[in-house]
Amino acid sequence: MKTNFNFQLYKNRKIVWLVSFSLCLISIIGMLISLKSNSIKAPLNLGLDYTGGTQITLERSCTDDCTFLNTNDISNNIIALKNQDKNFSSNTSPNLTRSQIQLLDNSKLISIRLPFLSAAQSDSVVSEVNKFFGPFKNENISVEIIGPSLGKQLLKSSLISLFFAFLGIALYINFRYDRRYSFLALFALLHDIIIVCGVFAWLGYLFDVEVDSLFAVSLLTIAGYSVNNTVVVFDRIREKGLLENELSFKYQIDKAVGATLTRTLYTSLTTLLPLICILIWGGSTLYWFAFALLIGVIAGSWSSIALAPSLLSITSNNMIE
Amino acid sequence: MGRKNYWFLVVILFAVLSIFICTNIPFQLGLDLRGGSQLTLEVQTTDDIPKITPDDIEGVKAVLDRRVNGLGVSDSQLQTIGTNQLLLELPGEQDPSGAAKVLGETALLEFRIQRNGTEVQLRDLQTQRNSVESIIKLLEDNNSAQLRKEININNEINKLFEKYNIQSDQILDIDQFNLLKNKINTDIAGLFEPTLLTGQYLTNAGRRQDQITNNWEVTLSFNNEGGELFADLSKSIAGTSRLLGIVIDGISYSEASVGKQFETAGITGGAATISGNFTADDARNLEVQLRGGALPLPIDIVQIRTIGPSLGTQNIRLSLFAALTGLLFVGVFMIFIYKLAGFVAVLALSFYSLFTLSIYALLPVTLTLPGIAGFILSIGMAVDANVLIFERLKEELRNGNTLIRSIDASFKNAFSSIIDGHLTTLISCITLFYLGTGFVKGFAATLGIGVVLSLFTALTCTKAILKFLMSYQGLRKTSNFINPNQIPSPSINLQ
C-alpha cells in the first residue's frame, strides 16, 4: 500500500487546533466589535433585505464620460420633496433626510438608499431625481422596497432554515456513521460558518460590506460543502478501520487523510475556479455571494482535512499512544 | 459494440433528447433576469379576525387573483408564502405603483342615504365639484387659452384650494385638481349616512360607455340578499328629496335620486349603475376592484422589487460568461490531471449540463440569478464525484491492478463517499426549499435538481463513456490514466 503523502496529522494536531482556534477567535472578536459598534449594532452588518428600506438604482444615459455629480445635491433634492410632493405631505411620511447616496461606475450609476417608502413615494423620488440629474435609462431603473417587518421575518426564516439544515445533516451522519462522527462533522461545519461570518463581520465593520439573503444562501451551501468534504474523509477513515484494524486509530486517520488529500485539494480547486470567475466577471450582484463561498470552501477544506480528523483521533476509545 | 455499450447508447439518446428539449422549450426566466416587478403583500389581522388561517389567505388570494387578472399583465403569478404573505410577480411591469394601487385598495363600496337637512350643503359642494370637473376636462384637452378664462371666471377655485389646504403655486397641474375633486367628494360622502348595503353583496361588476354622453359607467349586480336590501333602500327614499349616495373608499362617486314610481316596491332586479365622470381607465380600475370583491382582510405591501429588463439581460450575460469561463478552466484542469479520464469527465459534465438544463426547461424551474449560482455549484458537485472516482482509479492502478478491474473498483469504492456527499447537500436543499422564500427557493431548486442529476451522471454517464472508450484496444493503456513512472513494475505487484 502506497499513499501519496506521508501525512502526519496526529503529530501536528496541536498546530491545527491553534490555527483553527485563532481564526475562530478573530472571527468572534469581529462579530463582537460589530455588535458593540454604534453604526451596526449586530454581529453582522445587516443589509436592506434584513433591516428593511428602499434602494433605488438609476443608470444615467450618458456615453462613456458622465459628468461628476455631487451626492449632496441629490440628497437635498430628495429632502425638498417633503414640502412639494403630495406623497410626502402626511405627518407619517418617512424621514427623507436619512438618505445614503452612492455614485458607482464613474458616476454612471446612482444608488439611493432610503427608509421604507410606498410605491408611489419611490416613484416621486425617481421622477424628482430624474428632473434634476437625468435623463436616466428607463429600462435600467431598479427599485427595491422592503418593509421592516419583512426584513425581520427574512432574518428569522434564514436562521430557522440554517438550523433545520444542520439538524437534518447531523441526523443523516448519525444514521450512516455514529454520534461521534456526526458531532464532529457539525463541529467542523460550525467552525467554517464562524470563520465566514467573522470575515464578513470584519468586512462590514471596516468596509461597510453588508450581508443580504444571498449570504444566508451561501452559508447553507458552505454547510453542505463542508459536511460533504468531512464525510468523504470520515468514509475513508471508516474504510481503513475495517481493512486494517490492526493499525492504531491515529495511524488509520493519518493514512485516510493522506489518501483523500489530493481529492480534497482538487475538488476545492475545481469549486474555486468557477467562484473566482464569478468574482472577476460575474458582476456586482453575485460578487459578495461568490466571495462568501470562496472563504467557505477554503475553510471547509481545512476543517475536513485537518480539524475534524485530528479531533476524531482524540475522541476515539481505541487510541493507542 | 457489445452489450457493454448499451448504457453508452442510452446516454447518447438522453443527450440528443436534451438538446431537443433545450432548443424547443423556452426557459422560464425570473424577474431579475427578464425585468418586471415583484410585490410581497402581507395579510393584516383585524379586531374581528385576530388570527389568519389558511382559509383566510386563500380568500384574500382569490380576490387578488381576480384583480391581478383584471390588470391584464400576462404571465403574472400569485403565490402564498408562509402563513400570512403573498408574492405577486408581474413580468415586464415597470410601474408597480399602478398595480400596487389596485391591489392595495380594498375598494369598500357603500350605499349611503343623505342625512336630513343637508340639501343646501350638498348643492354647494356639487356646484364646486362641477366647476373643478370642467377644469379637469379642459386640462385634459389642453385648451390653455380657454382654461385661463375659465379660472378667471371661477375665482371660487382659489378659495377652494385654500379651504382644502392644497398648495396652489402650481395651479394648472391636473393632479392638484383631481386631489381637490376627491376632497370635495369626501365631504359629499360625509353628508350621507351608511346603510347595511355594502360591496359584500356584489356578484358582478362591469363597465360600459354611455352612448349619448360618451362617459364611462360602472355597472353593478347584487345577489338576492343585496337585491332585497337595495330595493328596501330605494323604497325608503323614493319620492323624497333625499338622495342615494354611492361611496367607494369614503369618496362619493354619484348621488342619485329615486323616483316616486319606486315608492311601493323600491328598485328591484338587483342592479345599479355608477356614473361618476369616469375615464376608461378609471372605470376599468374601479371595475377590477369591485369585481374582485372586497378583501376579507386588509393587505399591506411590504416589499416591492422592480428590475429593468436590460439590467436583467446584463445579469444573464455576466453570470453566463463567468460560468462558462469557470467550466472551461475546470475542463482544462481535469484533462491535465486525469488525462483520458479527465476527457471522459469533461464529456460527462457536458452531458450533465445538458440534462440539467433540459430538466429546468421541462419542469419548469424559474431561473433567477441565485438559481444560476446554484447550477454552477451543482457542476462543482458533479466534478467532485468524478474526482473521487478518478482518485480511486489512480490508487488502484498504483497498487498494480489491471485497468478494467481498477475502473470497476474505483466506481464501487467511491460510491459511498459520493452518496453521502450528495445526500447531505440534498438535505440542505430540501430544507431550504421548504423554509426559504423567493429566490432562496430558486437556488435550492436548481441546486437540488443538480445534485440528483449529478449522482446519476457520475454513476452512469462517466462509467458508460469510460467503458465505451475501453472497448477500443488502442485506448486501453494504463499510461492514458496515470504518469508512466507511477505504474508499478510487475515484480513489486506480487503481494
Q: What is the pLDDT of residues B129-141, one digit of tens each?
A: 888 887 777 777 7
Distance from CA of A21 to the nearest CA of B (A): 26
pLDDT score of B260: 78
pLDDT score of A24: 96
Q: Is the ipTM of this structure higher than 0.95?
A: no
* Residues in CB range of A147: below 8 A, 6 or more apart: A52, A116, B40, B42, B300, B301, B302, B303
Find out whether B109 and B186 touch, Cβ atoms under 8 Å.
no
Cell numbers of A178, please? 455514529
Nearest-angstrom CA–CA distance, B373 and A192: 20
Q: In the predicted model, is pLDDT for residue A63 greater than 70?
A: no
pLDDT score of B73: 67
Exposure string for B286-304, b = 16+ CB within 10 A, e = fewer = bbbbbbbbbbbbebebbbb
What's the mean pLDDT in A44-71?
A: 78
pLDDT score of B494: 44
pLDDT score of A2: 42
Largest CA distance in chain A: 85
Q: In the predicted model, is pLDDT for residue B373 greater than 50?
A: yes
Nearest-angstrom CA–CA distance, B325 and A278: 9
Distance from CA of A119 to the nearest CA of B (A): 5
Which of A81-85, A206-210, B34-38, B89-93 comes out lowest in average pLDDT? A81-85
Which tops the pLDDT comparison, B40 or B274?
A: B40
Q: What is the pLDDT of residues B275-301, one digit of tens each?
A: 766 777 777 767 766 666 666 677 777
Average pLDDT of chain A is: 81
Q: In the predicted model, is pLDDT for residue B392 greater than 60?
A: yes
Q: Do A221 and B326 touch (CB under 8 A)?
A: no
Distance from CA of A114 to the nearest CA of B (A): 14
Nearest-angstrom CA–CA distance, B464 and A274: 26
B241 DSSP assignment: S
What's the mean pLDDT in A155-181?
A: 83
B325 touches chain A (CB under 8 A): yes
A132 touches chain B (CB under 8 A): no
Q: How confident is the model at residue B115 (pLDDT cuts 50, 70, 90)?
A: confident
What's the mean pLDDT in B90-104?
A: 71
Which tops the pLDDT comparison, A304 or B170?
A: A304
Distance from CA of A183 to the nearest CA of B (A): 15
CA B280 to centroid of chain Cα atoms:
27
A216 touches chain B (CB under 8 A): yes
Q: Do A176 and B179 touch (CB under 8 A)?
A: no
Q: Do B325 and A281 touch (CB under 8 A)?
A: yes
Which tops the pLDDT comparison, A90 or B56?
A: B56
Most confident residue range from A23-27, A69-73, B383-387: A23-27
Residue type, position A167, single letter: L
Q: In the predicted model, is pLDDT for residue B239 greater than 50?
A: yes
Q: What is the pLDDT of residues A32-47, one digit of tens each?
A: 999 998 887 888 888 8
Q: What is the pLDDT of residues A234-247, one digit of tens each?
A: 888 888 776 666 66
Closest CB to B370: pick one of A122, A217, A235. A217
Which backbone phi and psi does A180 adopt, to 5 degrees? -65, -45
Q: How confident is the model at residue A1 (pLDDT cuts 50, 70, 90)?
A: very low
Q: In the predicted model, is pLDDT for residue A29 greater than 90?
A: yes
Q: How confident is the model at residue A26 (pLDDT cuts 50, 70, 90)?
A: very high
Q: Do A139 and B311 touch (CB under 8 A)?
A: yes
Q: In the predicted model, is pLDDT for residue B26 greater than 50?
A: yes
pLDDT score of B289: 65
Q: In the predicted model, is pLDDT for residue A201 greater than 80?
A: yes
Q: What is the pLDDT of residues B150-205, one digit of tens each?
A: 666 566 677 777 777 776 555 566 777 777 888 888 888 888 888 888 777 777 77
Size of interface A-B (CB pairs under 8 A): 229
Which tops the pLDDT comparison, A204 or A70?
A: A204
pLDDT score of A153: 75
Q: In the predicted model, is pLDDT for residue A266 greater than 60?
A: yes
Find out whether B223 and B291 touch, Cβ atoms under 8 Å.
no
Q: Do A139 and B333 touch (CB under 8 A)?
A: no
3-state secondary structure of B208: strand
pLDDT score of B358: 92
Q: What is the DSSP string of A203-243?
A: HHHHH---B-HHHHHHHHHHHHHHHHHHHHHHHHHHHHHHH
Q: In the predicted model, is pLDDT for residue B259 greater than 80?
A: no
B387 closest CA partner among A260, A188, A302, A223? A260
Q: How confident is the model at residue A4 (pLDDT cuts 50, 70, 90)?
A: very low
Percentage of residues of chain A with pLDDT beyond 90: 16
B315 touches chain A (CB under 8 A): yes
Average pLDDT of chain B is: 79
Residue type, position A135, single letter: P
β-partners of residue A100 are A113
Nearest-angstrom CA–CA distance, B417 and B190: 75
pLDDT score of B71: 66
Q: Determine the residue of chain B that is closest to A152 in CA distance.
A: B302
Q: What is the pLDDT of residues B42-55, one digit of tens each?
A: 888 877 777 887 77
Percentage of residues of chain A with pLDDT beyond 70: 88
What's the Rg (C-alpha) of chain B?
35
Nearest-angstrom CA–CA distance, B206 and B225: 20
Q: In the predicted model, is pLDDT for residue B370 greater than 90?
A: no
pLDDT score of B177: 78
Distance from CA of B303 to the nearest CA of A (A): 4
What's the mean pLDDT in B68-80?
A: 72
Q: How confident is the model at residue B449 (pLDDT cuts 50, 70, 90)?
A: very high
Q: How confident is the model at residue A197 (pLDDT cuts 50, 70, 90)?
A: very high
Q: In the predicted model, is pLDDT for residue A200 greater than 90?
A: yes
Residues of chain B in contact with residue A173, where contact means CB-CB under 8 angstroms, are 420, 424
3-state secondary structure of B470: helix
pLDDT score of A247: 66
* Residues in CB range of B214: below 8 A, 6 or more apart: none
Residues 19-48 (B) with a CB less than 8 A from some CB of A: 32, 35, 40, 42
A127 touches chain B (CB under 8 A): no
pLDDT score of A320: 39
Q: What is the pLDDT of residues B405-429, one digit of tens each?
A: 888 999 998 888 888 888 888 888 8
B318 touches chain A (CB under 8 A): yes
Q: How confident is the model at residue A194 (pLDDT cuts 50, 70, 90)?
A: very high
Q: What is the DSSP string of A109-164?
A: EEEEEES---HHHHHHHHHHHHHHH--B-GGG-EEEEE-HHHHHHHHHHHHHHHHH
